[in-house]
């Protein structure tokens, strides 16, 4: 019996190693592109559609790894991903300045919304963004309103910090106040929490519409106008000089995203939600469609360009131009 056990154990180990090498070989034959992405983009299902198209049309398996913008950037720095889809300009700039990212292209935009309970205790409905933030803080200090923050340094959280700053508040200071709650969780969880607590929060449109339609939350869009709320999504390819062996494939993906991908983007979510979840950004930049062009330029450009010259890398070989 002892011998049988040893043989069994050896067989198991041999099979495991066999499986390992089989898997590694299979992966070598497959064309796999790994892209770390912000959750707000992933959870709409748009990227599932993109992955399906790439598999069917080009035989390329695009692996989307959903994380917050901060974590996605970390992924890229560790050499995990070949490109990132993100929406936090300040972090993107840092990422490129450190030499990790190149060839940034803005491919989509939409608008954040400030949502809150129907009875709107802070009376922000229809206000400008800055006024709304001020009113919420005031009502909060009077104990009439609650604000919920993601607090996870995601793109949405970074936007929120900027909005507080524009309204004259220091995020680090007000986050200590009683009416200010942090979930440290994704947008969906944060919306559920805000709905339970009858609180205000900042949300991307995609997640809000999805949860609203499913009847999971009792919150309304109270402020959705204003250039400050623009949400600009961009793709950054990881620098081959930092060890990205998949640069070629990643650039082809970028090229697709800013050409054919724009049409997929335009149609996505229209049937389901009655409004598009994202707007294609390339034509706005090309034709300088106002006022969106100025807004993207103001909130999405780095030193007057979507990708300053020093951060470009052999993009002309792929027929990609920058604005």
Partner 1 sequence: MVSLFGDLDWGIVAEITLRSLKVSGLAAILASTIGIPVGVLLSLYNFTGREFLKSIFNTLLGIPTVVMGLFLYLLLAPKGPFGFLGLLYTEMGISLGQMLLVLPIVVSITATSIEQVSEEIYELALTLGASRAQAVVKVISEALPGIVLSSIAAFNRAVAELGIALMIGGNVFVYGGLANTRVLTTAIQMHVARGEIDVAIVLGLILLSVVFAISWIMNLVKKWL
* End-to-end Cα, the chain, rounded Å: 73
Q: Alpha-carbon distance 57 to 221, whole Å?
A: 38
Q: How far is the CB of 316 from partner 1 (least distance, A)?
A: 28
Residue 312 exposed, middle or buried by CB count within 10 Å (0-12, 13-18, 19+):
middle
Residue 269, interface with partner 1 (CB under 8 A)? no
Q: Alpha-carbon distance 141 to 252, whole Å?
A: 51
Among 97, 144, 165, 216, binds partner 1 (CB under 8 A): 216
Residue 45, interface with partner 1 (CB under 8 A)? yes
Among 7, 52, 126, 259, binds partner 1 (CB under 8 A): 52
Q: Alpha-carbon distance 88 to 233, whole Å?
A: 8
Closest residue by Cα to residue 245 from 81, 59, 86 = 81
Residue 56, interface with partner 1 (CB under 8 A)? yes
Residue 203, interface with partner 1 (CB under 8 A)? no
Residue 304, interface with partner 1 (CB under 8 A)? no
Q: Alpha-carbon distance 27 to 206, whole Å?
A: 33
Here's the x/- map for partner 1, 132-171, by CB under 8 A: it reads as ----------------------------------------
How many residues make contact with partner 1 (CB under 8 A)? 46
Q: Alpha-carbon distance 118 to 273, whole Å?
A: 20
Q: ∠ at Cα 21 (20, 25), nearest 5°?
A: 120
Among 117, 155, 186, 269, binds partner 1 (CB under 8 A): 186
Residues that bind partner 1 (CB under 8 A): 1-2, 8-9, 12-13, 16, 19-20, 23-24, 26-27, 30, 32, 34, 39, 43, 45, 48, 51-52, 54-56, 61-66, 77-80, 186-189, 207, 210-211, 214-216, 243
């Amino acid at each position: 019996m002892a011998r049988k056990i040893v043989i069994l154990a050896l067989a198991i180990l041999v099979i495991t190693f066999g499986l390992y090498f089989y898997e590694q070989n299979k992966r070598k034959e497959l064309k796999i592109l790994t892209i770390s992405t912000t959750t707000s983009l992933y959870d709409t299902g748009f990227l599932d559609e993109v992955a399906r198209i790439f598999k069917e049309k080009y035989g390329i398996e695009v692996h989307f790894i959903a994380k917050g913008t901060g974590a996605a950037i970390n992924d890229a720095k560790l050499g995990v991903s070949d490109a990132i889809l993100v929406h936090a300009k300040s972090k993107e700039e840092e990422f490129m300045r450190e030499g990790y990212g190149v060839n940034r292209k803005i491919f989509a935009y939409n608008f954040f919304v400030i949502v809150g309970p129907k009875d709107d205790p802070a009376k922000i409905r229809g206000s400008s963004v800055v006024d709304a933030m001020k009113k919420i803080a005031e009502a909060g200090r009077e104990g009439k309103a609650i604000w919920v923050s993601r607090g996870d340094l995601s793109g949405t959280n970074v936007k929120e910090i900027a909005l507080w700053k524009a309204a004259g508040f220091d995020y680090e200071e007000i986050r200590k106040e009683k009416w200010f709650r942090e979930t440290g969780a994704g947008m969906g969880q944060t919306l559920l929490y805000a709905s339970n607590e009858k609180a205000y929060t900042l949300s991307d449109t995609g997640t809000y519409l999805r949860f609203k339609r499913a009847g999971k939350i009792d919150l309304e869009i109270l402020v959705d106008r204003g250039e400050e709320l623009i949400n600009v999504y961009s793709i950054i390819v990881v620098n081959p000089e930092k060890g990205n062996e998949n640069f070629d494939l990643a650039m082809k993906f970028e090229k697709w995203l800013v050409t054919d991908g724009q049409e997929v983007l335009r149609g996505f979510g229209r049937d389901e939600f009655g409004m598009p979840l994202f707007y294609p950004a390339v034509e706005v930049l090309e034709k300088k469609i106002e006022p969106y062009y100025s807004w993207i330029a103001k909130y999405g450009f780095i030193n007057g360009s979507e990708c300053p010259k020093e951060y470009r890398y052999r993009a002309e070989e792929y027929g990609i131009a920058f604005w």
